[in-house]
């Protein structure tokens, strides 16, 4: 058994103070490509203070249903993104997961994939959830490949949900069950990255 649930080969998951999260998200949100990959809302600049207030309010109102982590590199402890379980429904043992890598130089290099593996290990082995779901925009093929790589299964799509630059895109629904995760990772998550 891996003694550190929150550490892989490339990344570790860390709980940050709201002001640290706000400062980084403020910078990442100014990258309109990042914003459009992670959010269906129109690009809208926000102040650090507004983001910090939103983060604090989310933590206060949804503390029992929200497990939010910053993603740091193992090599140099750099904050590069965030990942979290949101809307945990304890009576059904299920949750949604969301992830974003805000630092562009870490896109497409396995950091997000490993962070997702870590949060799934936490969800299934520590929180004893039975199901984790996500949705992703159909134009985000890099994320879809990453989700497939860690074991998410396509479960459906809502057609033409999102409009970007005059074109319509689908919202893709994916999920992974605890038994699928166990079969893939032998139950303890020790073979992350295999």
pLDDT tens, residue by residue, 176-188: 999 999 999 875 5
Residues 6+ apart with CB under 8 A from 44: none
Domain extent listing, the chain: 11-185
Task: Decide if domain 11-185 falls under CATH 3.40.630.30.
Answer: yes
Give me the chain's average pLDDT, please: 89
Pairwise CA distance, residues 10 & 90, whole Å: 30
Question: What percentage of residues in the chain have a pLDDT greater than 70?
Answer: 93
Give the pTM.
0.88
Going from the C-alpha of 94 to that of each of 61, 69, 85, 131, 167, the distances in angstroms are 19, 18, 9, 5, 33
């Amino acid at each position: 058994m891996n003694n550190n649930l929150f550490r892989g080969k490339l990344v570790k998951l860390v709980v940050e103070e709201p002001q640290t999260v706000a400062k980084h998200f403020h910078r990442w949100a100014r990258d309109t490509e990042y914003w459009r990959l992670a959010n269906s809302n129109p690009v809208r600049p926000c102040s650090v203070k507004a983001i910090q207030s939103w983060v604090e309010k989310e933590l206060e109102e949804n503390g029992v249903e929200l497990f939010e982590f910053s993603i740091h590199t193992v090599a140099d402890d750099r904050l590069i993104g965030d990942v979290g379980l949101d809307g945990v429904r304890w009576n059904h043992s299920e949750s949604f997961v969301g992830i974003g890598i805000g630092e562009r130089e870490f896109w497409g290099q396995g950091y997000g994939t490993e962070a997702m593996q870590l949060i799934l290990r936490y969800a299934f082995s520590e929180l004893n959830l039975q199901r984790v779901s996500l949705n992703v925009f159909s134009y985000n093929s890099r994320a879809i490949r990453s989700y497939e790589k860690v074991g998410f299964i396509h479960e459906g799509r809502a057609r033409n949900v999102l409009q970007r630059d005059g074109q319509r895109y689908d919202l893709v629904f994916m999920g992974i069950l605890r038994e699928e995760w166990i079969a893939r990772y032998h139950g303890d998550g020790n073979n992350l990255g295999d």
